[in-house]
Amino acid sequence: MGILGWIIFGLIVGALAKWIMPGRDPGGIFITILLGIAGALIGGFIASALGLGSANSFTIGSMVIAILGALLLLFIYRKMRA
C-alpha cells in the first residue's frame, strides 16, 4: 500500500475509532488520520506478536486490527490526560 493508501486507510480507521469512542479530543482531520495510521501500526504490531495477523493491506481483518489499535491509543491518551 502506498502513502496515499495509508492516508486514506488512516482517515477511515481514525474516524471509525472516534465514532466508536466519542469524546472531546483536540485536533481535526489531520489528528484523525495520524490516529488511524498509528493505530494500524500498533494494532498490527500487537496482532503479529500474538500471531493473529497484521495490518499490512486494506482488508476487513486489517481494518479491525487497526481500529482496535486506534481505540487503544485513544484510551491511553484519555487516561493520561485525566
Give the pLDDT confidence score for residue 56 in this predicted structure: 65
Report pLDDT digits (tens) over 67-80: 888 888 888 877 88
Q: Evaluate the CA torsion angle 36, 38, 44, 46 in order and state its sign.
A: negative
Which sign, positive or negative, has the C-alpha torsion 12, 17, 20, 26? Answer: negative
39 closest CA partner among 6, 5, 65, 76? 65
Q: How many helices (H) and strands (E) does the chain have?
A: 3, 0
Tally of domains in the chain: 1
Stretches in the chain below the pLDDT threshold 50: none
Residue 60 pLDDT: 81
Domain that holds residue 14: 3-81
Question: Which residue shows C-alpha cell 498490527?
Answer: 44
Q: Which pLDDT score, from 0 to 100, does residue 35 have?
A: 80
